[in-house]
Each structure stands twice: as C-alpha cells, then as structure tokens.
Amino acid sequence: MPILGNKSKEILATCHRDLQDLVREAIKVMDFTVVCGRRGREAQEQAVIEGKSKLHYPDSKHNAEPPALSRAVDLAPYRDGVIQWNDAKAFILLAGVMKGIALVKGIKIRWGGDFNRNHNLHDDNSVDMPHFELED
C-alpha cells in the first residue's frame, strides 16, 4: 500500500482538516504526491507567472493566512518513482478516488479537471488536473 512521504505530509499539514482526511484515505487506494497546499503572496504570484494559476493573491483557495489552513490541495499521480505529469488517465483516476471518498464522507469538493462540474472534461475554460478544493 502506498504511503505519504515526509514532504507530502509537510505540505498536507498546511491544508484544511477535511482535505487532510480525504488525502489520507486516498493514498490507501493509489499512489500520488502532494504538490501544493497553502501558498503565501509570493508563491501565489509565482504560480501565476508560471501559468500554474490564473488567480492573483489572495483570490486562490490555496491562499490562507496562518493560522488558517488552505482550502485547496494539488496532488499528482506517482508511479515507478516518478510524478506522472503527462498521464491524464492517472489524474482522472485520482480525481475519481478523491471524489468517491469525499462523497462517502459528506465532504463537498471540486476538481480542477472539471471546474464547472458538468462531467464533460473538454469544455472548461480552465483545466488544473492536480487541483482539489473544498466547496463553500
């Protein structure tokens, strides 16, 4: 069974308790790494510059000021010792795992691969496959 590495645990600790709970359950089903949790101002603006986010600080759910915890987490499938950045099917599988666990636990989340939540992965203006966020 896969386990979260120390770096993943460290990043996950910056996230809301519900996200922590979901991620700890999901790792029992498939292997992935926790890429991002809370982002401060500088990290958020760098994410915009790099094209990893369209939202400037403080508009992302990754932006929470301590002691608040991030309402978003980025996860990436991990296989054979490598992050599977180009494996869309692995991201979709991970999304299914996360959404299924969230449904059972009664936690409302939104996945960045289907921001508009219509189950059509080809019509969103923005696609962020690693991104999961708590719904308000």
Q: Do 3 and 27 touch, CB atoms closer than 8 A?
A: yes
CATH assignment at residue 123: 3.30.1380.10
CA-based nearest residue to 14, from 53, 59, 68: 68
Residue 1 lies inside a defined structural domain of this protein: no
2 HSE (CA, 13 A, CB side): 20
pLDDT at 124 (0 to 100): 83
Question: pLDDT over 90 for what percent of the chain?
Answer: 85
Which residues of the chain register pLDDT less than 70? Answer: none
pLDDT at 122 (0 to 100): 87
- Domain span at 111: 6-134
pLDDT at 65 (0 to 100): 84
Bridge partners of residue 75, in order along the sequence: 34
Residue 62 lies inside a defined structural domain of this protein: yes
pLDDT at 67 (0 to 100): 83
Residue 19 lies inside a defined structural domain of this protein: yes
Overall number of domains in the chain: 1
Bridge partners of residue 36, in order along the sequence: 74
Alpha carbons 48 and 65: distance in angstroms, whole number: 18
Tens digit of each residue's pLDDT (9 = 90 or more) over 69-83: 999 999 999 999 999
pLDDT at 97 (0 to 100): 98
pTM of the model: 0.95
pLDDT at 9 (0 to 100): 98
Segments in the chain forming alpha helices (H): 6-12, 17-26, 41-49, 88-105
Contacts of 127 (CB under 8 A, 6+ apart): 112, 113, 115, 121
